[in-house]
Amino acid sequence: MNDMKNTSIREHLTVLLRRRSVIALCCVILTMILAFYSIVEGVNITNNVAHENGFMSFIYFTMISNVFAALSAAFVFPFAVEGIRQKRFILPKWAALIHFTATTSIAVTMIVVLAFISWTSPHDAFGGHNFVTHIVCPLLIIVSFFQIESGHLFTWKDRLFGIVLCSAYMIVYYIEVALIGEANGGWPDIYRLQEYVSPAFAIPASLLFFFGVSTAVAFLSNRLTKKRNKKMFLLWKDDLDPVEVRIEAYGMGRMAAQYGEENNLQIPYDILISLAKRYDTDPEDLMRAFAKGLIIERSDRANK
């Protein structure tokens, strides 16, 4: 009875993880489309309405963070597709860090808009394409980040990496605005920061704010990863020997063949790797056991 219950739970987890990958795939596709539309629209408005060089729109962090979000979505896209096809949810560390940095950066954009800009200039916050760049794209990239199984726990060093884009923009902004000045060819103070605070206060305060957002995103991601791993590991006893572990992998292969589509079988790569690590077993042995179970189940079904 317990084996039947565990099999049902494992099947549910496999379907759930695949569903998360489908959600992530939809989010990254929409992010790429909407971010591209909003960036083009922003450049056109700067050209045709403000009568300035369209590339001046890129002095806004909103534009930069949306460009980076679109690039992040493009990097994540093939892994989301792979997650649907073969249930391989483990992102390479570089892709996970880029996705993390994009999520942190665009979360900063949304928080600033909701906390400050929406109160002083609602139209600039939510009017036209701004609603897409300030709200829709941030929500999409955040959802995709927490839906894809990165397989990584973000360290304090990773959290510092996550604020590189925000910090670089802030430094360039203050160089252009405070040191060079608009009269000398620098940027205009579009955020009117010099009217309220001095750079000596704003720079460290901004860094702390960026790091706080990065830490919050990493904390939630790490907590979800640990919770998912714990839920999966509870399905297996602590004292399984290598033979029993291979039997589990063999059973997962038969289950994949039994419930999977004929031309779209699900390979739980991440679960097999996690099992191998937990029970100190050769991953290739588990892969072979899984493949054997899959082939035998397919053969049995074909002979019926």
- State pLDDT tens for residues 113-128: 999 888 888 888 888 8
Select from 217, 228, 233 the least CA-distant residue to 278: 233
The two tokens of residue 262 are 């004929």
Q: Count Cα atoms within 13 angstroms, Cβ side, for 274.
A: 21
Give, in order, the Cα–Cα distances in Å from 292 to each of 15, 241, 246, 249: 21, 19, 10, 9
Decide which of 117 and 148 is more confident.
117
pLDDT band at 185 (very low <50, low <70, confident <90, very high): confident
Q: Tell me what pLDDT residue 122 has.
A: 87
* Polymer length of the chain: 304
The mean of the pLDDT values for the chain is 81
Select from 218, 199, 209, 220 the least CA-distant residue to 108: 209
Segment 152-166 mean pLDDT: 93
Separation of CA 161 from chain center:
15
Residue 261 DSSP label: B
**What confidence tens digit (pLDDT) does each residue in 43-59 have?**
888 777 666 776 778 88
**What confidence tens digit (pLDDT) does each residue in 219-277 have?**
999 998 888 767 666 666 666 677 777 887 887 777 777 665 566 565 667 677 777 87
Decide which of 213 and 178 is more confident.
213
Select from 93, 109, 84, 99 the least CA-distant residue to 143: 99
The residue ranges of every structural domain in the chain are 2-153+215-231, 238-303
Q: Tell me what pLDDT residue 141 has.
A: 94
Select from 76, 137, 74, 80 the least CA-distant residue to 107: 137
CB 37 within 8 A of CB 77: no
pLDDT band at 203 (very low <50, low <70, confident <90, very high): confident
CB 99 within 8 A of CB 150: yes
Residue 217 has pLDDT above 80, yes or no: yes
Select from 233, 219, 226 the least CA-distant residue to 13: 233
Q: Tell me what pLDDT residue 17 has.
A: 65
Decide which of 265 and 162 is more confident.
162
